[in-house]
Amino acid sequence: MSYLITYTNVNGYLIPNLTFKSGEQMEQLGKYGFLRRDYLKNHKNSLYQVMLLQDTIGGHLLEVDKVARAREEVILKQLEEKEPLSDKEADQMAWVRAANQHRAIAEEIILRELL
């Protein structure tokens, strides 16, 4: 197996042109992926560095983000079944208040479970 490595000449030094798959994946991250990245950086720095060097961090963060969003949808549906939102047309402020409360509860559960 051979690799083609290209170099850039900077003041007489040859610097390899390195690319990572994770760079493209990081552009697709959502809120929960960034929260997981920050957690790894601040609390599991050695694991974060290993994943960064092995170029597996992007896939891991995308997977965490995807799972967290799916879990959020499930929790929101369960909360709406348990405590239905009021009629939006009748009292819009009450509806917004209840929807925000449901979202805050779902986010708190996800942060405790996944991140």
Q: How far is CA 102 from CA 4, 21, 91, 98, 113, in A?
A: 52, 36, 17, 6, 17
Residue 85: the pLDDT is 86
pTM for the model stands at: 0.73
35 Cβ neighbours under 8 A, 6+ residues apart = 111, 115
Residue 5: the pLDDT is 77
Summarize pLDDT for 10-27 with one digit per residue, the tens. Answer: 999 988 876 666 666 777
Residue 97: the pLDDT is 93
Percent of the chain with pLDDT over 90: 60
111 Cβ neighbours under 8 A, 6+ residues apart = 35
Residue 22: the pLDDT is 66
Inform me whether the pLDDT recorded for 74 exceeds 60.
yes
Rg of the chain (C-alpha set): 21
Strand, coil or helix: 4: coil
Q: Do 22 and 55 form a contact (C-beta atoms < 8 A)?
A: yes
